[in-house]
Amino acid sequence: MKQPVRIALSVALCLLGHGCKASSPSTEPEPAAAAPEPAPAPAPAASGPEVWVGAVELPGDAKLRFIARLDPPRPDDPEAAWSGRLDIPAQSIKDFPLQDVRVAADGVDFVLAPPGAPENQWAIFSFDREAGADDVKGSLSQAGQSLPATARKLKPGEPTDVAPKRPQEPKPPFPYATREAAFVSAAKDKVALAGSFTLPEGTGPFPAVVLLTGSGPQDRDESLMGHRPFLVLADHLTRAGFAVLRFDDRGVGGSKGDLDKATQLDLVGDARGALDWLGQQPEVDKTKLGLIGHSEGAMIAARTGAADKRVGAVVMLAGPGVTGKEILVQQMIALARARGLAQADIDAQVALQKQLLDGLVAKKKRADLEPILRKLVALQTGGATPEQLDALVGASLASLDTPWFHDFLKADPRTDLRKLKKTPVLALIGALDLQVPADGNLPELEQALAKAGNKDATVKSLPGLNHLFQHAKTGSPGEYGEIEETMAPELLGEVSSWLRTRWPAP
């Protein structure tokens, strides 16, 4: 399912997926004899480029760290101004050009304006400064919201590395082979897909698994907030004796196509195309093929397993046990409660969301849906101007009105699980998961597999783990990027030992 913290460049700094706030011109009339504005404080003498490292305070006690590299005007060009580029390591954003850069004795400001985004979706960084000090305080303003932020100017030669540590990220040399994979989807459109294939040491043939990402545009590593979960998972499984294929989603990396135009049936075709490719590899045991899906990828794994007899094992990691429409309501409630929202406010938002989603399922016209969405966005943003609401509602309607989203709302994994009568199934959900809450989904998964008469199904909750299977405090998405761990060792062990029990090593 959609990751609420999966941040596209068009909303590059917004945790909740809203657009960026823009500075609006004043509508107040000017006095007839207004005193002249004081001249802006001059910039301190700049001997060269400046590097500022800082952090935006996000909901859930998390921080989004950034590096701003600011270049002074050229001394030989009187029309020149400061310029700059921004890094956000946790989001894999590097050298993003900045606009309206100002460096002065009383402040530092710059604007992130994604290509093609309207002005009211820009992100504005503004910091107050005391007499050219190297430490500043201010805010990031975006979509009617303002988040506190701080920054510090580095001394010459001071390291700029502010990226959170990722100790589990595998480093070469690797005790296995890696090669590129290129294959064609088994869906009707025959989209070309690309990925990576890792192969254990030895002669084989080896059991093999395909990794299926969560929803939204994901690369083969399922990169998110500076983490690469599928890289860590593939490394662990390959070291444990399994061949692993992971691939870029449609329209991402080396893969062609358009993800928003794809239905879940198309994504099943992508998974089957991956199985076709595995079946052509001489090192792979074609009688031992499995699928491992995370979040919506778990739904695709179950649906593919129900349709393809080649699938000998299905692993569902944080996979919903209810329809897409139901899981979105569950997610809204869980996230709102985690933020401390009053129950009356939660009830009001849930009622509007259900009305909106029901209207989408019934294929109501956009004109009928827009007033509902506007009320919901107004409740969620609080304080947004009418212009900002217009931008947010327009962007939201565009993202909701796609073939993928319409299909996702109706998709019900229970239908597919009831067909998995003999296929071994492992379903795991973190006890702190706020995106796919364990209490609302594990019982549904268990009941569906029981109705299938499946005698080899394991469904369990893992204590202390969030949606990414990290050890967490609250499970809030705001923690994802701050946690150094990418995937808990117990999760990795559960998956590899369960697979090895079904497919013993030769």
The Cα angle at residue 221 between residues 440 and 420, in degrees rounded to 5: 45
Same domain, 197 and 133: no
- Does residue 355 sit within a domain? yes
Are 306 and 403 in a shared domain?
A: no
Residue with tokens 């500076």, as numbered in its chain: 226
Query: Where in the sequence is the domain holding 294, given as residue range(s)?
Result: 176-323+411-502
Encoding tokens for residue 434?
């706020």
Last residue of a domain, one of 372, 407, 442: 407
Among 407, 439, 470, identify where a domain stops.
407
Do 149 and 203 lie in a common domain?
no
Together in a domain, 213 and 282: yes
| pLDDT value of position 2 | 42
User: For the stretch 473-489, what's the b/e string if a residue is b when 16 or more beta carbons lie within 10 angstroms of its beta carbon?
Assistant: eebbbbbbbbbebbbbe
The tally of domains found in the chain comes to 3
Q: How far apart are CA 299 and CA 322, in angstroms?
A: 10
Same domain, 315 and 382: no
- For 412-456, the pLDDT digits (tens) are 999 999 999 999 999 999 999 999 999 999 999 999 999 999 999
* 383 part of a folded domain: yes
433 in any annotated domain: yes
Where residue 125 sits, what CATH number does that domain have?
2.40.128
Q: Sheet containing 135-142: which strands, arranged edge to edge?
A: 93-97, 83-88, 62-71, 50-58, 145-153, 135-142, 123-128, 107-112, 99-104
Is residue 36 in some structural domain? no
In the listed set 122, 153, 184, which residue is the last one of a domain according to the structure?
153
**Positive or negative torsion for Cα 393, 89, 481, 158:** negative
Same domain? 334 vs 473: no
Q: 383's torsion region: left (phi>0), alpha (psi -120 to 50) or beta?
A: left
User: Residue 27 class from Cβ within 10 Å (0-12 exposed, 13-18 middle, 19+ buried)?
Assistant: exposed
pLDDT at residue 46 in the model: 53
Pairing of strands 107-112, 123-128: antiparallel
333 membership: H or E segment, kind and range: helix 324-338
Query: Residue 9, SS3?
Result: helix
**Residue 258 in 3-state DSSP?**
coil
- Residues in the chain where the model's pLDDT stays below 50: 2-40, 43
Together in a domain, 255 and 141:
no
* DSSP type of residue 224: B
Give the pLDDT confidence score for residue 121 in this predicted structure: 72
- Same domain for 313 and 228: yes
Tell me if 476 is assigned to some domain: yes
Please check whether residue 48 lies inside any domain of the structure. yes
CATH code where residue 237 lies: 3.40.50.1820
CB half-sphere exposure, 297, CA atoms < 13 A: 29
Same domain as 348, residue 495: no
User: Strand pairing partners for 290?
Assistant: 209, 313
Task: Check whether residue 376 and residue 443 sit in a common domain.
Answer: no
pLDDT in tens, 134-161: 999 999 987 667 889 999 999 988 888 7
**Same domain membership, residue 279 and residue 184:** yes
Please report whether residue 31 resides in a domain: no
* 169 domain-assigned: no
Same domain, 315 and 330: no
